[in-house]
A and B are shown apart, each in its own frame.
Chain A
Amino acid sequence: MESVISLEGVTAELGGHPVLRGIDLVVRAGEVVALLGANGSGKSTTVRAAVGRVPITAGRLELFGTPLSRFRDWRRVGYVPQRSTAAGGVPATVREVVAAGRLARRGLLPLRRGDHEAVHRALETVGLADRAREPVATLSGGQHQRVLIARALTNDPDLLIMDEPLAGVDLASQDVLAETVRTLVGRGAAVLLVLHELGPMEPLIDRAVILSGGRVERIVEHGDHLPDTHACHPEDAPEPSAEPRLHSGIL
């Protein structure tokens, strides 16, 4: 199967501190992979490196088989960044925020009718079509998260990357989210999630990759015991002595 994301020995640093110390990770089409780990273990940095937001210092990073530095086909990637708490100063409606996703297709050109239809479909997917004209500032945390997911869905992405999509999200929105992921995977997309807890996502997840101190600590395949609540490792804990236990053919 086509590997959608592949990282091999990726290292990265933030402000001179090594944050990733050699990450191997593969996500193939139709797979849902969760990145788990304590705060500071490198989960967010891994996905931010995967979309080119954190420069890597060594290793190989490919999206859809193309090295990241040459990758231009951003319309195939839906990205849901960690929800920022800073509300923008100027009011904007749900529809205006979601429409920004279509710029991956339009570039510097104005949006057309087809773009607005895609925005509407994405809002229907996350169950917010009736709130399209409302300002995002009046939404709850869960609804706001759904707006950001709709924005990533506007281009029918082949890869969806979500950074902490469940943080601060009510249960109803968590279910909408799980359903959205199920639909996407059903038509062959790949999904990479950073999670703190598995929650309603658990039955969907094919593989959980547990990071610790910027390395892959272990990989749990679906069917094995998925860690429900991941214990917090203090970052100064001794390095796990074992290499990742599970060496499947892909690593």
Chain B
Amino acid sequence: MSFALPSLSGSPVGAALPPVDGQALALEFLNYAFMQRALIAALVIGVTAPVVGIYLVQRRQALMGDGIGHVALTGVALGFLFNTSPVWMAVLVSAIGAVGMELLRLSGKARGDIALAMLFYGGMAGGVMIINLAPGGSTAGLTSYLWGSVTTVSASDITAIVILAAFVLLVGLGLRRQLFSVCQDEEFARVTGLPVRALNLLLAVTAAATVTVAMRVVGLLLVSALMVIPVVAAQQATRSYAGTLAAACGFGVLVSVSGTVASYYADVPPGATIVLIALGLFALAAALTRPIARRRARRAELPVPPPGTPVGERATVPAPADPDRSSVPSR
């Protein structure tokens, strides 16, 4: 049995696909150590990425993960140059990049999107330049980090992934009320005396850790998708922040594990498979919840919905359901 390394062409290395048989299908891939490691990595990343992603989505910084991903590339290349672990070097460099980006945003000196754009270009160019300076290094060495290569995850990678994920979960879940407050209404959070600046920087470092955790599985170029899409899919159906967080973690695990398994059988790159499954899940969630959302919007038009009001009853007193509309002074 051979397993094609994920590549852009996705060409199988002369392997026949395994027989599609229920029992064999369920167990066979677990016999391979590389698949066991791949699944552990996928599981950990699936639950971790949305925990940070939810705060970025709330703050309208969905692309921040991409910016950090590009900077992490420079870290990976530095790892090759200095012959140290690319993962830990990527953590270090992307954390510095994320903190720098956050400080720039907080100072108000540069628009968020421009700071992000500079980071994109600098990180990418730096990575390509440095990898070519490394002895025996070439741009090809970066490929597995760019597109992910879950099947080549080593035992030491797993250790790094688990440690980083534990840190991310500790911050993202343990400080969820505080981070929610900061991301939802930063001005109010400051007046409650929260250390807003420290929390923002902590979130930036946490996002950097998440990116490096996820890069082995989905690749630096698709890393942000696993932070953002499960959250956006979940919020189609949820009403609360806690519910969105829980559902997003569930979706994250679902897509990353199923994508990894699917890529094993269909011999396709796992990163792209995971992201496409996630997008499919989002489309499904949006289609299924549209009628519910419409019904809810109608119900919200009633000033005080008495319990047991028939769904879809015509509202008698139309009040604006859209908070934006009512921001105009009434008189």
Please name all residues of chain B whose beta carbon is closer than 8 Å to the beta carbon of A232 when the two chains form the complex: none
A91-B244 in contact (CB<8A)? yes
* Complex interface: stretch among B33-41, B79-87, B126-134, B174-182: B174-182
Alpha-carbon separation in the docked complex, A85 to B325 (Å):
8
Alpha-carbon separation in the docked complex, A94 to B268 (Å):
44
Contact of A142 (CB < 8 Å), options: B180, B304, B326: B326
Minimum CB distance partner of A101 in chain B? B192
A89-B60, A90-B241, A92-B240 are known contacts. Are A140 and B192 too (CB-CB below 8 A)?
no
A53-B187, A107-B193, A169-B330 are known contacts. Are A93 and B323 too (CB-CB below 8 A)?
no
| Chain B interface mostly | helix
Q: Cβ of B57 < 8 Å from any Cβ of A?
A: yes
Q: Cβ of A96 < 8 Å from any Cβ of B?
A: yes
Alpha-carbon separation in the docked complex, A220 to B104 (Å):
44
Minimum CB distance partner of A110 in chain B? B177
Q: Cβ of B190 < 8 Å from any Cβ of A?
A: yes
Alpha-carbon separation in the docked complex, A72 to B188 (Å):
15
Please name all residues of chain B whose beta carbon is closer than 8 Å to the beta carbon of A134 when the two chains form the complex: 239, 300
Specify which of A100, A169, A196 lies most central, judged by the most chain B CB atoms within 10 Å of its CB: A100
Contact of A138 (CB < 8 Å), options: B187, B189, B242, B300: B300
Q: Given contacts A90-B244, A168-B327, could you give 4 more A-B pairs where the C-beta distance is less than 8 Å?
A: A89-B58, A93-B241, A144-B326, A168-B328
B57-A89 in contact (CB<8A)? yes
Q: Cβ of A197 < 8 Å from any Cβ of B?
A: yes
A90-B235, A103-B177 are known contacts. Are A139 and B323 too (CB-CB below 8 A)?
yes
Alpha-carbon separation in the docked complex, A59 to B195 (Å):
26
Alpha-carbon separation in the docked complex, A162 to B194 (Å):
20
Q: Cβ of B197 < 8 Å from any Cβ of A?
A: no
How far is the CB of A131 from the nearest CB of chain B, in Å?
8
Alpha-carbon separation in the docked complex, A89 to B326 (Å):
18
Q: Cβ of A250 < 8 Å from any Cβ of B?
A: no
Minimum CB distance partner of A139 in chain B? B323
Alpha-carbon separation in the docked complex, A91 to B78 (Å):
40
How far is the CB of A75 from the nearest CB of chain B, in Å?
8
Alpha-carbon separation in the docked complex, A126 to B192 (Å):
20
Please name all residues of chain A whose beta carbon is closer than 8 Å to the beta carbon of B296 when the two chains form the complex: 138
Minimum CB distance partner of B331 in chain A? A197
Q: Cβ of B292 < 8 Å from any Cβ of A?
A: no
A91-B57 in contact (CB<8A)? no
Please name all residues of chain A whose beta carbon is closer than 8 Å to the beta carbon of B240 when the two chains form the complex: 91-93, 96, 133, 135
B330-A170 in contact (CB<8A)? yes
Alpha-carbon separation in the docked complex, A103 to B186 (Å):
13
Q: Cβ of B191 < 8 Å from any Cβ of A?
A: yes
A90-B57 in contact (CB<8A)? yes
Minimum CB distance partner of B54 in chain A? A90
A108-B175 in contact (CB<8A)? yes
Please name all residues of chain B whose beta carbon is closer than 8 Å to the beta carbon of A88 when the two chains form the complex: 58, 183-184
Q: Type the 1/0 row for B157-191, where 1 means its CB is closer than 8 Å to any CB of A.
A: 00000000000000000110110110111011111
Tally of A-B residue pairs with Cβ under 8 A?
Answer: 134
Contact of A92 (CB < 8 Å), options: B57, B241, B300: B241
A104-B193 in contact (CB<8A)? yes
Q: Type the 1/0 row for A125-141, where 1 means its CB is closer than 8 Å to any CB of B.
A: 00000100111111111
21 example contacts (A-B, Cβ-Cβ < 8 A) are as follows A52-B190, A75-B193, A89-B60, A91-B239, A91-B243, A96-B242, A97-B184, A100-B184, A100-B189, A103-B192, A107-B194, A108-B178, A108-B195, A134-B300, A135-B239, A140-B320, A141-B323, A141-B327, A144-B323, A167-B327, A167-B330
Contact of A91 (CB < 8 Å), options: B192, B238, B330: B238
Alpha-carbon separation in the docked complex, A125 to B11 (Å):
66
How far is the CB of B213 from the nearest CB of chain A, in Å?
22
Q: Tell me which residues from 109 to 166 in chain A have a Cβ below 8 Å from any Cβ of chain B.
A: 110-111, 130, 133-142, 144, 151, 166
Please name all residues of chain A whose beta carbon is closer than 8 Å to the beta carbon of B187 when the two chains form the complex: 53, 81
B184-A138 in contact (CB<8A)? no
Please name all residues of chain B whose beta carbon is closer than 8 Å to the beta carbon of A135 when the two chains form the complex: 239-240
How far is the CB of A17 from the nearest CB of chain B, in Å?
15
Alpha-carbon separation in the docked complex, A90 to B189 (Å):
17
Q: Type the 1/0 row for A155-193, where 1 means its CB is closer than 8 Å to any CB of B.
A: 000000000001111100000000000000000000000
How far is the CB of B137 from the nearest CB of chain A, in Å?
40
Q: Cβ of A64 < 8 Å from any Cβ of B?
A: no
How far is the CB of A183 from the nearest CB of chain B, in Å?
22
Alpha-carbon separation in the docked complex, A90 to B176 (Å):
14
How far is the CB of A206 from the nearest CB of chain B, in Å?
24
B241-A96 in contact (CB<8A)? yes
A141-B320, A144-B323 are known contacts. Are A133 and B58 too (CB-CB below 8 A)?
no
Q: Cβ of A51 < 8 Å from any Cβ of B?
A: yes
B193-A72 in contact (CB<8A)? yes
Alpha-carbon separation in the docked complex, A10 to B229 (Å):
48
Alpha-carbon separation in the docked complex, A170 to B331 (Å):
10
Q: Tell me which residues from 42 to 99 in chain A have a Cβ below 8 Å from any Cβ of chain B.
A: 51-53, 72, 74-75, 77, 79, 81, 83-85, 87-93, 96-97, 99
Please name all residues of chain A whose beta carbon is closer than 8 Å to the beta carbon of B304 when the two chains form the complex: 130
The 3 closest A-B pairs by CB, nearest first: A141-B326, A74-B193, A138-B300
Please name all residues of chain A whose beta carbon is closer than 8 Å to the beta carbon of B193 when the two chains form the complex: 72, 74-75, 104, 107
Minimum CB distance partner of B304 in chain A? A130
How far is the CB of A169 from the nearest CB of chain B, in Å?
7
Please name all residues of chain B whose beta carbon is closer than 8 Å to the beta carbon of A151 when the two chains form the complex: 188
